[in-house]
Amino acid sequence: MEILTWWLCAIALIGFMSYQRASLVSFTVSFTILMIIGTFFNAVSFFGWLIFAILALPFNLSEVRKKYISLPLLTAFQKIMPEMSTTEKEALDAGTTWFEADLFRGDPDWQKLHNYPQPRLSAEEKAFLDGPVEEVCRMVDDWHTTHDRADMSPEVWQYLKDNKFFAMIIKKQYGGLEFSAFAQSRVLQKLSGVSTVLSSTVGVPNSLGPGELLQHYGTKEQQDHYLPRLAKGEEIPCFALTSPEAGSDAGAIPDFGVVCHGTFNGEEVLGMKLTWNKRYITLAPIATVLGLAFKLTDPDGLLGDTKDLGITCALIPTDIDGVITGRRHFPLNVPFQNGPTQGNEVFVPLDFIIGGPKMAGQGWRMLVECLSVGRAITLPSNSAGGIKSVALATGAYSRIRRQFKLPIGKMEGVEEALARIGGNAYLMDAVTTLSTGAIDLGEKPSVVSAISKYHLTEKMRQSITDAMDIHGGKGICMGPNNYLARGYQGAPVAITVEGANILTRSMIIYGQGAIRCHPYVLAELEAASNNDSQQALEDFDHALFGHIGFAISNIVRSKWMAFTGSRFVNAPYNDGTKRYYQLLTRFSANLAMLSDIAMLTLGGDLKRRERISARLGDVLSYLYLASATLKRFNDEGRQSSDLPLVAWAVEDSLYRMQQAIDELLSNFPNKMIAIALRAVIFPLGTWLTKPSDKTDHQVAKLLQTPSDARARLGKGQYLTDDGKNVLGQLETALTNTLACEPIFNKICQALDEKLPFYQLDKVAEKGLAADIITEEEAQLLTVTEKQRLAVINVDDFDNDELISANFAQSST
């Protein structure tokens, strides 16, 4: 009996110490005490002590451990370590890790998440949103922009320049606005609710481009010359990276430069001949200064011994002979200025390199460092802002539009789609807030930026499709009153740029996350590549045994939380969200365990197993998305009326995590390991479901009913009813429709008739004639009828209006 009791205590101690991630020394001391107790009760013999000593001493005597365990493993690891290109190394080194690293490590500190300060606008930033941003939203006619002009009007362009919309990232010392990342996001969200052309045009110069690169890497002379001109709008910048032969694989660009002597402005200077052929370059057709990425070579050794210097970035004025710009692409009827640029042996001085000659070959590092910031702002913000506006518009339309004598928003099929739109809108805004807040804290979150870009653009695509399904014919008939079609048409644009989404999901998110976020893998890789053998062994030993303890801990944690349903996991709040924190902690431990098992069993082959990598990346991503949702709920005062939105967003994320793990295990190459992992993670099978019908109903109702929760969902969007803003008119129509329903019902009851809810002006006449309603009530019914018809009607055109002007001219 004593022996059995001792063994049960031993198992419990091992489990407890592993769960708590105790150090090797603490583990050894604790087990030694247990051995002494066991000896006292005759449960441990001399033979037991001998086995314990054989196991414990080699691990605790550092010199013995290093010589006989760590050194052989280091040698083996160096032989199998996957080859890593220079561009991959620079991409890994770029940026920083943030809370996503906590999520990767199996035991997130939720209080740490909630202690991050909530991003807030300064008085200057708020004034900009309420003033110039509001005004330019009023000025832009998106149908005129996309259908008639294929460009914004000259007045809008000038207004953007005059009010420094292209200078949000430029520091005040150069005449810029120097806004926070959060403020930039709010600006883009508001603009994107009005016009994708407008938000794209403003977003690109404030993201990856000459302004950002100059501020971080430019020489003082370059900064003093270009930044004030960019701030004033005297220069229009673009950045040319993508080539016909190098899209997502940007490191393979064929564009090149050769260091040589030549003549520039009548003087003999050391420079470079540049040859390039770029495409998909936003603002290239109208740019005055071209940021150019190319591979620089120095065949004559004019700069030193290195012949192939690598990817380099330079600023090229577009008025130099040989620079070709002006032609345009036509991206899915969303005609923001985008086009190709070419040059053939264009000679420019070396001083045109951003940062001067010393930065030759440093271009890829510059680009990935800036992209780690910009990718978290522009596309995620444009996507979130667009869907916030779409959520309110679709909710309003669903409440106003009737079929079968009831608002279509009360039909369960429509409720399901509405819930997806509303839940995603809440989550997307939460993610942009958290991510831009991290940037404003000084982070360059490369993994977070990839997560944000991929998932928010995908959720935008899903949500705009749902909105089109709900609107039906209203959505597909284009014209000045259609507020969905251009967003629907242009959705694939966001999917393809700044790293195609397929590549981002299958290679970048987990490819960077596994190494950057894991507490030991990067240290192991760095130790293995260290030429100092003694230091390499020291570092590898420390990382290796930390990694072993970490892996054991996550296996124990995963099994314990599966056994207990994670109900004993601490959560920061003991309310309706407590269960969410517990389940997220469980999935965090699962991710950490699965990552280690995948790395151990697949080794370097994991890099090529893109679908395994993608599913692990999905788990990390949804952990981050759900965390952002809970952070937003907390920052906004834990409003109970927002709980349906929180529930939908988090439960959808949890379900998708479970689905990703289930698919991973079903497709894991080693079937025996897959079976064992399933027994640890899902001993009773999968159990989480999509958000319930009840939650869907609550979210759908919220979108259709004016309230504080609905206002928070659409906060910051352009909803002013100025007589031209279709979304503002829709909001007014919703308010008036709801106000008319009691009046309408009163008339029907008094007349004992079941009248249809249309021709409200005639209903008003009946009500007045029967002395049932007042003049004011009749007036409201009449006005609302006009608004109702404006909401449900679609645009139509004379045939000649739809014929291209160029075709019409050629025909005559």
Give the integer Cα–Cα distance in Å for 777 and 797: 35
**In sequence order, which residues have a C-beta less than 8 Å from that of residue 491 and are 6 or more positions away?**
457, 460, 461, 464, 465
2 assigned to active site: no
Which H or E run includes 186? helix 181-192
Return d(Cα 9, Cα 15) in angstroms, integer. Answer: 10
Read off the DSSP letter of residue 691: P
| Residue 224: C-alpha distances to residues 173, 206, 228, 357, 735 (Å) | 10, 18, 7, 18, 52
Do 458 and 381 contact (CB within 8 A), yes or no? no
Calpha distance 347→344 (Å, rounded): 9
User: Which long-range CB contacts under 8 A does 17-20 form with residues at least 24 apart?
Assistant: 18/549, 18/552, 18/553, 18/555, 18/556, 18/557, 19/553, 19/556, 19/557, 19/560, 20/553
* Helix residue spans in 341-440 (DSSP H): 363-374, 378-400, 412-440
What is the token pair recorded at 507? 């290679």
- Residue 263 backbone dihedrals phi, psi, to 5 degrees: -105, 130
Rounded-to-integer distance, Cα 708 and Cα 640, Å = 11
Which residues fall within 8 angstroms of residue 553, CB to CB, at 6 or more apart? 18, 19, 20, 21, 106
SS3 percent helix, strand, coil of the chain, rounded to 5, is 65, 10, 25
Using alpha carbons, select from 631, 585, 573 the residue that is nearest to residue 437.
631
What backbone torsions phi and psi does residue 282 show, to the nearest 5 degrees? -70, 135
Cα(130)–Cα(124) distance, integer angstroms: 10
φ/ψ bin of 472: left (φ > 0), alpha (ψ from -120 to 50), beta (otherwise) = left
- State the catalytic residue, choosing from 498, 524, 731, 785: 498
Q: How far apart are CA 790 and CA 805, in angstroms?
A: 29
**Which DSSP symbol is given to 82?**
P
Angle at the Cα of 424 from the Cα atoms of 573 and 203, rounded to 5 degrees: 110
Ordered DSSP codes for 277-303: EEEEEETGGG-SEEEEEEEEE-TT-SS
- Give catalytic residue positions: 498
